[in-house]
Amino acid sequence: MLSFIRSRESGVLPPWELKEALYEESLKNYTAEPHATFPKVHVGAVNSLSVENVDQRYLLSGGADSSIRLWDLELDARKDWKSLNSNDGVEYSQLASIDRQKGHKYGVSHVQWWPHDSGLFVTTSFDGTAKVWDTNSMQEAYKFDLGTRIYSADISSVGEHAMVATAADHPFVRLLDLRTTAAAQILKGHDGKVLTTKWSPTHGSLIATGGTDGSVRLWDVRRSDSCVLMMDHTLTPTAQSNPLRRGVDKRLSHPRAHRAATNGLCWMPDGSTLLSFGNDEKLRLWDLLPAEGMNKLVNYGPFLRNKFLQTINPCLMFQNHETHKVMVPSDSGEIFMYQVEDGKMVCRLSRGHDVARSACVTGRGYGYEDYFSGSLDGKITRWSPHYERPTVALDGKKKRGVLDDIHDEMKANEREMGEQ
């Protein structure tokens, strides 16, 4: 690392290359934050977490105990910040809550902020209802009753519509319109339960879904024949170059993306690449630009564990860099960080001996290095890079090193790019 700094000072190394090297080094040092913690308030698993996009300050958590909690991610300014260096640490404050049985009867499966305004959020539950909440009053604004357990939902951040796509215990996707407070459309095609659904980050009418039939489907809600693409894990670059093999693949009536249920999806920012996660414990990267879709055959290794019919969506890391990184929860209690394009494992996050199954993970947003995960034991953990910063002691005082200045400049630049 010192050689990078010397090369940059002498003008041999361009600034972006030093920044990339520092970023890659910081990723290897992610660890659970011991000083800033959440009080344990959920009884049972923390099934879902969501940070709002406006201020990137407020965190929602939904638990298996049917409760919903609202957290302030800015540590209390009245506390002595020197306590962060002590063994006591500080706790994030809980601003409001919807207690057990007052909101949902059964466990909360998904929580999500309205993408354009922090005054509204949506929750789904295993009691078969999707509810819209007013953040200011923490009161229910409207309720959709689907009549069957709901595993997850998603709200488009780029579409002009106001539809919530739900994945539930039936073989179709139901789109709920928040403006008309009615079910707007039903997407039929899955052969089994639908476990996960994700709107495209670039096209407001495209949505990807995964279910217990092992399929990953791409839908265009503007069309009558909405299902426009089904992923097939046998359709690879080699298979596409073989005309005979392509003819066989086209005759398949039910192509499968995974050999078991698909319970996780994650779009790349350009909207042309999709990552899927299955109960066959495989991550698969799909190129959507070919008409048939293509399995890019990226190997993410044998360490992931995923055996439960529960939505586990990978979390794309909020960084403006050429290579994309993703965090993936695992049944082993660990969270794995991978480089999306080549499958390289960057970091393996663990809470040590406290290894309750990881249930969800989310990031705070652009300009921040903090990520939050929920686990089966009801705990919320904050993950952030731990820097071993060299200090020089003079007269009993500590001085900032060159890495401190570089790190602060990187964070400031990331935050400015995120705001733009």
How high is the pLDDT of residue 29?
82
Considering only residues 61 and 240, tell me which one the structure prediction assigns the higher pLDDT: 61
CB 280 within 8 Å of CB 258: yes
Mean pLDDT of 380-392: 73
- What φ, ψ does residue 42 adopt, rounded to 5°? -85, 135
CB 256 within 8 Å of CB 293: no
Considering only residues 43 and 88, tell me which one the structure prediction assigns the higher pLDDT: 43
Mean pLDDT of 315-337: 88
How high is the pLDDT of residue 24?
73
Mean pLDDT of 369-379: 92
Considering only residues 368 and 49, tell me which one the structure prediction assigns the higher pLDDT: 49
Sequence-distant (6+) residues with CB within 8 A of 225 are none
User: Binning pLDDT at 50, 70 and 90, where does residue 13 land?
Assistant: low
How high is the pLDDT of residue 417?
65
Q: How far apart are CA 189 and CA 5, in angstroms?
A: 55
**Tokens 């394009």 identify what position?**
341
How high is the pLDDT of residue 134?
95
pLDDT at 21 over 90: no
Which of 114-123, 251-260, 319-328, 398-407 is least confident? Answer: 398-407
How high is the pLDDT of residue 78?
43
Mean pLDDT of 59-83: 78
Q: Tell me the angle at which helices 2-9 and 15-27 cross, rounded to the nearest 10 degrees.
A: 160
Considering only residues 198 and 400, tell me which one the structure prediction assigns the higher pLDDT: 198
Q: Which of 114, 180, 174, 134 minimizes the C-alpha distance to 150? A: 174
Strands (E), 4-128: 30-32, 36-37, 46-51, 58-63, 68-72, 90-91, 93-98, 108-113, 120-125
Sequence-distant (6+) residues with CB within 8 A of 254 are 191, 213, 215, 230
Angle (CA) 202 343 326, round 5° = 45
Considering only residues 41 and 320, tell me which one the structure prediction assigns the higher pLDDT: 41
What pTM, to 2 d.p., does this model score?
Answer: 0.84
Ramachandran region, residue 369 (left: φ > 0; alpha: ψ -120 to 50; beta: rest): alpha
Q: Which of 351, 324, 320 minimizes the C-alpha distance to 338? A: 324
How high is the pLDDT of residue 77?
44
- Distance from chain centroid for Cα 202: 17
Mean pLDDT of 5-26: 68
pLDDT at 316 over 50: yes
The domains of the chain are located at 31-384
pLDDT at 348 over 70: yes
pLDDT at 394 over 90: no
Considering only residues 241 and 284, tell me which one the structure prediction assigns the higher pLDDT: 284
DSSP string of 294-360, one letter each residue: EE------S-----SSS----EE----SSS-EEEEE-TTS-EEEEETTT--EEEEE--TT--PPEEE
What CATH number has the domain spanning 31-384? 2.130.10.10
Candidate ranges 238-242, 285-289, 389-393; pick with highest mean pLDDT: 285-289
User: Binning pLDDT at 50, 70 and 90, where does residue 403 land?
Assistant: low
Mean pLDDT of 62-83: 76
The token pair at 393 is 């002691």
The token pair at 262 is 């698909």
Mean pLDDT of the chain: 85
Q: How far apart are CA 131 and CA 124, in angstroms?
A: 6
Mean pLDDT of 131-144: 94
- Based on the number of CB atoms within 10 Å of its own CB, is 16 exposed (0-12), middle (13-18) or buried (19 or more)? exposed
Candidate ranges 99-108, 334-343, 392-401; pick with highest mean pLDDT: 334-343
Query: What is the Cα gyration radius of the chain?
Result: 22
User: Could you read off the pLDDT of 249-308 as tens digits, one per residue?
Assistant: 444 567 899 999 999 999 999 999 999 999 999 999 999 988 888 999 999 999 999 999
How high is the pLDDT of residue 248?
45
pLDDT at 246 over 90: no
CB 306 within 8 Å of CB 296: no
pLDDT at 382 over 50: yes
